Structure 1
């Protein structure tokens, strides 16, 4: 009788699903990451198996999960394939390993209980789009080069016009997640190579690449590749070009708020921390200093990190974004520090 019972159960289940109709198979929005383990075709429509641009998953790469076709043991997963058009694609669930956060069924008009996300889940520290703030990381290039003289961007004959004019240079724009500390990053789970130039070329728009080489001298050592794969992959709002366009605009706003004039006027001189912080307040608004982190080496200012909110609107006022960011002042500098001049000290 046991086989008969199993057959009867299967018929009953089929009847139930038929009565429920398509809603029984409704897709489920989900957050998480698919770590591709094989080359899989990525479909616009899983039903029609349409793939107009022949998009595939690359083994070893990670993809943001958007939804699954059913909450329990899905056989189709919708992911974001950045180079595809459109980027939202369906792939078979067995294409890779899944790190999935909370899933919430499609809204059917009935309230659904929220599934809390475990803040200690380590997979969240490499899942894109979960930042709760940003950091704009700026370098004072002359001081950086004092301890990195072998870097191409620090060579004697390297053009130094941008930093000679008193401008801070771009180190990076970092999405942050407080519960991850400094470990929120690498959201494509790409193995870090020995040298930055061993990362794949980003294929930036030529005009963006040209501007970036000025604002970020580290491009001479492929810093932009490292910054994208470590930090840029953890935000989901911009492609590579847009990410660096936003970052460059923020750097220019900071320098243009009277900071570059102050730095140029004090190159080779010692200044008080209070005087420097007052310049930042004057340029970006009262209490902007409370959103800074300062680093020094050998009594010289080397880095400035600026706290920004979790969402950045391209073209928005840097001062306004700083005002909306959580206070997080820290300093590794003495009360008086030197603003190093271009060129190596003896």
Structure 2
């Protein structure tokens, strides 16, 4: 449980190591106090997974507000607020410093600890690790380029072999929080940039960058930078390379399920939405269509959004992820759409 301090208490400080109030065995215990860092320690979002997406560390000599400990007696993990980290609530080893507890009135302590976190609190829409689902956003690149002809990835001489084979391309992998709608994002609170290439490089390794340039043509316009800072920073399980590696695998699974062959066979033709959805069910499992959103523009399919569960294990089967995802079918297409071929229409 995360406790926020709303005022400073003028109470006496007690050494944490002397005594902890009894609590359920193995349960974390909310506390008030201060950890005085005595050594340089890594600060984890998850102590179990050792996840630290922004490489946050304690600074020896600094004091940090204590939020909770992992067990009531002789804890080996303490959760503190690291103000410059995102999210700021971090687990550190108890040996990282000297802990002190502040004594507070029982009724005030109870009121603070029992105050619920409001699920629709707008302040949570920029806090990482609170997603309740993911969306895999795929583009039909030829239709995208019809209205974005000035983009580098839409230039006449841009390699289009991947799209020509009927493959959808990667737009992004988006952590979602239902209460935030489309506003869950930018969890590093970085100033939005007009040009994607004005964002700093997220530091994706060379091999993932190579693969990404194939499945995400938008890398020619630095789309991956925008996607990382707007969406990738709101999950806490993966660094940038791992995040894009998961997204690459998912888009390839979608295409290789047989949907690329379906799209290639219908390039330049009108397709019934029902036929496309039937192909999705055939390729990815009965009911998969209920986890899709379709977008069309000018009678052409432009985007497919796939609903996925809140937690994704790298290497997971896409069909299995879809099966366990929340249903969220929507379509902004009429009864049929055009599978736009590569190249600009006149």
Q: How would you bin the TM-score normalised by the shorter chain? A: 0.7 to 0.9
- Once residues 344 and 82 of structure 1 are traced to their aligned partners in structure 2, the CA distance between those partners, rounded to angstroms, is 41
- Once residues 90 and 326 of structure 1 are traced to their aligned partners in structure 2, the CA distance between those partners, rounded to angstroms, is 42
Match of 2:193 in 1: 193
Q: Deviations over 1:250-293 (max 9, x none)?
A: 00000011100000000000010000000000000001000000
CA distance 1:18–1:46, change in 2 (3 Å)? closer
Aligned residues: 287
Match of 1:204 in 2: 204
Match of 1:251 in 2: 251
CA distance 1:343–1:116, change in 2 (3 Å)? same
- Structure 1 position 331 matched with structure 2 position 331: yes
Match of 1:116 in 2: 116
Of the three residues 28, 32, 39, the one matched with 1:49 is 39
SS of corresponding position for 1:142: helix
Match of 1:319 in 2: 319
Instruction: Write out aligned runs for 1:141-180 (5 A).
Output: 141-180=141-180
Q: Deviations over 1:287-314 (max 9, x none)?
A: 1000000000000000000000001011
Using the TM superposition, give the Cα deviation of residue 227 of structure 1 relative to its aligned residue in structure 2, in angstroms: 0.2
Using the TM superposition, give the Cα deviation of residue 50 of structure 1 relative to its aligned residue in structure 2, in angstroms: 3.0
- Once residues 138 and 162 of structure 1 are traced to their aligned partners in structure 2, the CA distance between those partners, rounded to angstroms, is 13
CA distance 1:65–1:153, change in 2 (3 Å)? same
Instruction: Write out aligned runs for 1:21-36 (5 A).
Output: 21=18, 23=20
Contact between 1:104 and 1:114, CA under 8 Å: does it hold in 2? no
CA distance 1:218–1:315, change in 2 (3 Å)? same
Using the TM superposition, give the Cα deviation of residue 89 of structure 1 relative to its aligned residue in structure 2, in angstroms: 3.5
Match of 2:285 in 1: 285
CA distance 1:338–1:117, change in 2 (3 Å)? same
Match of 2:71 in 1: 107
- Once residues 183 and 269 of structure 2 are traced to their aligned partners in structure 1, the CA distance between those partners, rounded to angstroms, is 36
- Once residues 190 and 18 of structure 1 are traced to their aligned partners in structure 2, the CA distance between those partners, rounded to angstroms, is 38
TM-score, normalised to structure 2, is 0.75
Q: Deviations over 1:123-161 (max 9, x none)?
A: 110000000000000000000000000000000000001
- Once residues 275 and 172 of structure 1 are traced to their aligned partners in structure 2, the CA distance between those partners, rounded to angstroms, is 25
- Once residues 212 and 339 of structure 2 are traced to their aligned partners in structure 1, the CA distance between those partners, rounded to angstroms, is 24
SS of corresponding position for 1:268: coil
Using the TM superposition, give the Cα deviation of residue 201 of structure 1 relative to its aligned residue in structure 2, in angstroms: 1.2
Structure 1, gaps ≥5 residues long: 1-9, 31-44, 56-62, 68-78
- Once residues 216 and 30 of structure 2 are traced to their aligned partners in structure 1, the CA distance between those partners, rounded to angstroms, is 38
Structure 2, gaps ≥5 residues long: 1-9, 22-27, 74-109
Over aligned residues, Cα RMSD in angstroms? 3.1
Using the TM superposition, give the Cα deviation of residue 22 of structure 1 relative to its aligned residue in structure 2, in angstroms: 6.3
- Once residues 139 and 130 of structure 1 are traced to their aligned partners in structure 2, the CA distance between those partners, rounded to angstroms, is 26
SS of corresponding position for 2:170: strand
Using the TM superposition, give the Cα deviation of residue 119 of structure 1 relative to its aligned residue in structure 2, in angstroms: 1.4
CA distance 1:89–1:279, change in 2 (3 Å)? farther
SS of corresponding position for 2:258: helix
Contact between 1:186 and 1:231, CA under 8 Å: does it hold in 2? yes
Contact between 1:29 and 1:66, CA under 8 Å: does it hold in 2? no
Match of 1:6 in 2: none
TM-score, normalised to structure 1, is 0.75
SS of corresponding position for 2:313: coil
CA distance 1:166–1:338, change in 2 (3 Å)? same
SS of corresponding position for 1:21: coil
Match of 1:76 in 2: none
